[in-house]
Amino acid sequence: LTPFDDADSGPVLYRPDQPQVDGDYMVPLKRFAPRFVGNTGSAAGGLSPLGEGSKKPPQALIIGVKKGGTRALLEFLRVHPDIRAVGAEPHFFDRNYENGLQWYRPVYPVITVYPLIP
């Protein structure tokens, strides 16, 4: 297990009829074009014809100093269709670490997997 494996709770289900509060942003699922983003390897996070998604611990973190351009890097990465990113910077490790994963989990971006139509 890596420090970001969230094995104790498993994936957090997300339903498109419930808007996601993602940092300072409300992010409706339809913002993203449906496409194949890879098998997440779990039943709850796998293919779903209902368009459900799941929240996963981050696979990458952006670390930077103030005014170092981290926001620009995040926005550039967000353009990629296979990347899901948080809206506002969560500042988990420097400001909210004491709040634990209970605080961090709802901040995870929603991962949605759609079948690839041949």
Q: In angstroms, what is the minimal distance from the CB of 63 to ligand PPS? A: 11
- Say how many C-beta atoms besides its own lie within 10 A of residue 112's C-beta: 21
Query: In the complex with ligand PPS, which residue's Cβ is closer, 13 or 85?
Result: 85
Query: In the complex with ligand PPS, which residue's Cβ is closer, 67 or 80?
Result: 67
Q: In angstroms, what is the minimal distance from the CB of 70 to ligand PPS? A: 4
Tokens representing 105? 């989990």
The span from the CA of 99 to the CA of 15, in Å, is 25
The span from the CA of 44 to the CA of 18, in Å, is 17
The span from the CA of 90 to the CA of 22, in Å, is 9
Q: In angstroms, what is the minimal distance from the CB of 108 to ligand PPS? A: 20
Q: Which of 114, 111, 3 is nearest to 55 (CA)?
A: 111
Q: In angstroms, what is the minimal distance from the CB of 85 to ligand PPS? A: 14
Query: In the complex with ligand PPS, which residue's Cβ is closer, 36 or 97?
Result: 97
Query: In the complex with ligand PPS, which residue's Cβ is closer, 47 or 85?
Result: 85
Give residues in contact with ligand PPS (CB under 6 A). 64, 66-72
